[in-house]
């Protein structure tokens, strides 16, 4: 990975992670290819990012054995399908960054293909924050539910205060070089990119997103995602 010359303005790129098998969906095929409004979740998730014109490149990371993803065609020339998915999410993200044309001083937004209900307005808000403050940030929403810690035999051990707690979402946005170094140090155990930054002592900012930016993990989540999409289409048609 080379450095941008100082005279070059850093650009934004995106890595969309779509290398999982979706075992908890119980559909027998990767969940990123479930349809929402006639398009796959991967296509929906990618298009939301592409609707932000400042994103100059989008790398969709799929498994090397994924025959479905290889057949997808994106009309937007900014998209490249990368058959470089790894054993873990962290491996897939690192491989996607290496596959990209992004330089160390550029910015990368890492997004889950399983979050097809992302709003482009939230992508813009996140990018604006990172550009303005020159620091990493993630989309997240405050936790509203009362949280319980499980004890023995499925009983409640205690109630956990939700004060100051946020539920992390994607995309998460970082300078490429900083994220690459953090992920190399943190290893493959981290569950999101912000965790890797925390591992090396960084503290990404929280940018409030939208609760409907759900992650599709189980069959009910897919039903909710389709309902959200239909509700938005109806609203657009009525405006």
Structure confidence at residue 9 (pLDDT): 86
Residue 187 zone, left/alpha/beta (φ > 0; ψ -120 to 50; rest): left
pTM: 0.92
Residue 14 phi, psi dihedral angles, 5° rounding: -135, 145
pLDDT surpasses 50 at 3: no
- In eight-state DSSP terms, residue 138 is E
Mean pLDDT of 11-33: 79
Structure confidence at residue 74 (pLDDT): 87
Q: How confident is the model at residue 70 (pLDDT cuts 50, 70, 90)?
A: confident
Structure confidence at residue 21 (pLDDT): 65
Tokens of 232: 């938005």
Each residue's pLDDT tens digit, 34-55: 999 999 999 999 999 999 999 9
The average confidence (pLDDT) of the chain is 92
CA distance 139 to 72: 28
Q: How confident is the model at residue 22 (pLDDT cuts 50, 70, 90)?
A: low
């Amino acid at each position: 990975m080379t450095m941008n010359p100082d005279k070059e303005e850093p650009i934004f790129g995106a890595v969309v992670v779509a290398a999982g098998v979706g075992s908890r969906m119980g559909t027998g095929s990767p969940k990123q290819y479930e349809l929402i409004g006639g398009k796959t979740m991967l296509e929906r998730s990618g298009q939301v990012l592409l609707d932000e014109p400042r994103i100059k490149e989008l790398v969709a990371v799929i498994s090397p054995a994924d025959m479905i993803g290889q057949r997808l065609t994106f009309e937007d020339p900014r998209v490249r399908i990368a058959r470089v998915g790894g054993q873990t999410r962290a491996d897939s993200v690192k491989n996607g960054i290496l596959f990209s044309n992004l330089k160390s001083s550029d910015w990368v937004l890492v997004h889950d293909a399983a979050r097809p209900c992302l709003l482009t307005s939230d992508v813009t808000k996140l990018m604006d924050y990172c550009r303005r403050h020159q620091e990493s940030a993630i989309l997240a929403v405050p936790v509203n539910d009362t949280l319980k810690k499980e004890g023995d035999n499925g009983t409640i051990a205690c109630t956990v205060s939700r004060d100051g707690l946020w539920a992390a979402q994607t995309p998460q946005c970082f300078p490429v070089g900083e994220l690459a170094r953090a992920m190399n140090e943190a290893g493959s155990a981290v569950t999101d990119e912000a965790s890797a930054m925390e591992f090396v002592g960084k503290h990404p900012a929280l940018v409030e997103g939208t609760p409907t930016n759900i992650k599709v993990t189980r069959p009910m989540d897919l039903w909710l995602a389709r309902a959200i999409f239909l509700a938005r289409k109806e609203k657009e048609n009525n405006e």
